[in-house]
């Protein structure tokens, strides 16, 4: 399924089609690749959050190997814990998650990127 950018003039970033809502049930997470950028999508009690997927510590996938418990994702590699709502890293405040805005429309999930995201 090709990703399509949906520019909204009122916000300084672009939303990209990510996946159907049904593919991220409550309490789950999944890894997505959007325009070559690895994103982790989390469903916390029905609210969706997105962050960069590589763990800020040593770049292991948070979505593939991590454990989601409420709004806390614990990396499967060295057990660092992050808050997916705020991006906070509990082990070292200098290693927070890069957050992305999430939108929903007509059963689809959209993830936002700033125009200068790498």
Among residues 31, 57, 85, 98, the one that binds ligand FES under rule CB under 6 A: 57
Question: Cβ distance 34 to 18 under 8 Å?
Answer: yes
Among residues 63, 75, 89, 97, the one that binds ligand FES under rule CB under 6 A: 75
Contacting residues for 114 by C-beta, under 8 A, at least 6 apart = 12, 13
Taking the least distance from each CB to ligand FES, the nearer of 66 and 112 is: 66
Specify the 3-state DSSP secondary structure of 28.
coil
Gap between the Cα atoms of 88 and 66, Å rounded: 16
The answer to whether residue 6 forms part of the interface with ligand FES (CB under 6 A) is: no
From residue 12 to residue 51, what is the string marking binding to ligand FES with x (rule CB under 6 A)?
Answer: ----------------------------------------
Q: How far is the CB of 107 from ligand FES (least distance, A)?
A: 32
And the tokens for 67? 């454990």
């Amino acid at each position: 399924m090709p990703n399509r950018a949906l520019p909204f003039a009122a916000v300084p970033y672009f939303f990209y089609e990510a996946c159907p809502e049904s593919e991220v049930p409550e309490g789950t997470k999944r890894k997505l690749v959007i325009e070559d950028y690895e994103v982790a999508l989390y469903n916390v009690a029905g609210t969706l959050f997105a962050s960069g997927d590589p763990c800020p510590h040593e770049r292991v996938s948070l979505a593939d190997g991590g454990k989601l418990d409420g709004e806390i994702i614990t990396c499967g590699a060295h057990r660092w814990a992050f808050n997916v709502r705020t991006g906070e890293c509990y082990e070292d405040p200098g290693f927070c998650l890069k957050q992305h805005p999430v939108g929903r429309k007509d059963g689809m999930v959209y993830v936002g990127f700033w125009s200068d995201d790498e």
